[in-house]
Amino acid sequence: MKKETSKNIKELAYYSSLGLTVAISIFIGLFFGVWLDGKFETSPVLTFVFLGFGIAAGFTNLVRAAKRSRKL
């Protein structure tokens, strides 16, 4: 396999996994918030806080990918 073809395949794999990483980070934040709400009985407060953290983490990953694609 040519060196450039291998590089293109790696980049394609990275960019195709972005949607999955955004979804996973949001669900991890949501799950952790629900779990902490159950533990401390602060019903929707911590769920919304950690859901916000998960969304922020997911979109931070998208911004990093956009910056990476501009360098190419």
Region 51-62 average pLDDT: 97
What average pLDDT does this structure show over 21-41? 97
* Backbone angle region of 5, left / alpha / beta, with phi > 0 → left and psi within -120 to 50 → alpha: alpha
Q: Please report the DSSP string for 32-53 in residue order.
A: HHHHHHHHHT-HHHHHHHHHHH
Q: What are phi and psi of 13, to 5 degrees?
A: -65, -40
Say if residue 23's pLDDT is above 90.
yes
